[in-house]
Amino acid sequence: MFESLGNRFSNAFASLRSRGKLSNSDISNVCQEIRQALLDADVALSVVEDFVNKIEVQAKAALTDLQAGANQAQAIFEIVNKELVELLGSQARRVRLAKVAPTVIMLAGLQG
């Protein structure tokens, strides 16, 4: 699943890198690709919508702030990376082990 998600993100960014100057429609298209990739990976709709909205707002604001010679695709990549780190948590969390074995950890998802 992570490999597929990574490939879809890579393809979305490859389409940005192949362009020179980016437009708002380019940003919207990439955000739509990211949205679909996350939904296909069983990420909750509310999380996906919030994540994509943050990216789209920041990316469109960055387009107006960047100078003509700046690498706009790299700036968009950094925005997505920053938001992903914020979404997943930037700090490691320890697993709380049971005082008496076994420690039970439950993982749940839409596909098991």
* pLDDT the model gives residue 100: 92
* pLDDT the model gives residue 67: 66
Domain that holds residue 38: 2-88
User: Residue 55 sits in a domain of what CATH number?
Assistant: 1.20.120.140
CB-based burial, 79-104: b 16+ in 10 Å, e otherwise: bbeebeeeeeeeeeeeeeeeeeeeee
69: pLDDT strictly greater than 80: no
Please, which pLDDT band fits residue 111 given cuts at 50, 70 and 90? low
Q: How far apart are CA 44 and CA 42, in angstroms?
A: 6
Cis upstream peptide for 102 (omega within 30°): yes
Residue 75 in any domain: the answer is: yes
Tens-place pLDDT, residues 16-59: 888 778 888 999 999 999 999 999 988 899 999 999 999 999 99
Total number of domains in the chain: 1
Residue 98 in any domain: the answer is: no
Tens-place pLDDT, residues 80-91: 999 999 988 888
Residue 108 in any domain: the answer is: no
